[in-house]
Amino acid sequence: MNFKFKIKGKVCEFKNKIKKINNQTVFAVKKKEHRMESQSGSAFSAIAEYFLNLDTVVYGIAMNNLDAVYTRITNTDELKDLKGSKYVQAIVGDIYLDVEKDLKNNKTVLFGGTPCHVDGLIHYLKYKKVESSLLFIYDFVFHR
Ligand SMILES: Cc1cc2nc3c(=O)[nH]c(=O)nc-3n(C[C@H](O)[C@H](O)[C@H](O)COP(=O)(O)OP(=O)(O)OC[C@H]3O[C@@H](n4cnc5c(N)ncnc54)[C@H](O)[C@@H]3O)c2cc1C
């Protein structure tokens, strides 16, 4: 893998403990047409579809042979590649650079992945001083 930047220790680190949030609003989502291809109720597909119909860019995980890799999509036909949980660590590659490029081109971006990779992206963009008001993020909660 050819990484174009190395800023180890400055971007991807969980410095703070996860804070307990009180008074949360919880929604349950079940979208019939995506459910059988998704891991749970297909909330992801419902949200991604909404964004893609607004002409935005969506990032998630697709399989590339045996690798799970962060992938950029721009239309609902490509959504099938991102559906479903891939229970391996995804390869980040140069995807933060792609997000940076999209934001600099004033594109609205929906980016999702593991909490640590999402956190890494946020720190990366702050480090690079990229204007991020068009960035929307999603991640998921692990529980045992
Ligand atoms: C590695 C992993 C572990 C999980 N562990 C739990 C758990 O312990 N308990 C629990 O309740 N839920 C867990 N989940 C979440 C759960 O499996 C569903 O992904 C989630 O409920 C969303 O389901 P969905 O039907 O909305 O979307 P789906 O269509 O099932 O989810 C697709 C979304 O997951 C993302 N995704 C897929 N694989 C990966 C990956 N390897 N890394 C990062 N993002 C990925 C895609 O980019 C897409 O955004 C886990 C998910 C993953 C990826």
- pTM of this prediction exceeds 0.85: yes
User: At a CB cut-off of 8 Å and minimum separation 6, what does 38 contact?
Assistant: 44, 45, 83, 84
HEC secondary structure over 71-102? EEECCHHHHHHHCCCCCCCCECCCHHHHHHHH
Asked whether the beta carbons of 60 and 113 are under 8 A apart, the reply is yes
Q: Which of 38, 85, 87 to mutate to test the pocket of ligand 1 (most atoms within 8 A of CB)?
A: 85
* pLDDT surpassing 70 at residue 6: no
Ligand 1 site residues, Cβ closer than 6 angstroms:
38-45, 60-61, 68, 82-88, 90, 112-114, 140, 142-143
Domain ranges of the chain: 34-138
Query: Which two three-digit tokens encode residue 131?
Result: 């204007």
Q: Give the C-alpha separation, 51 to 28, whole Å.
A: 19
State the distance from the centre of ligand 1 to the C-alpha of 113, rounded, in angstroms. 8
The string of pLDDT tens digits covering residues 62-109 is 999 999 999 999 999 999 999 999 999 999 999 999 999 999 999 999
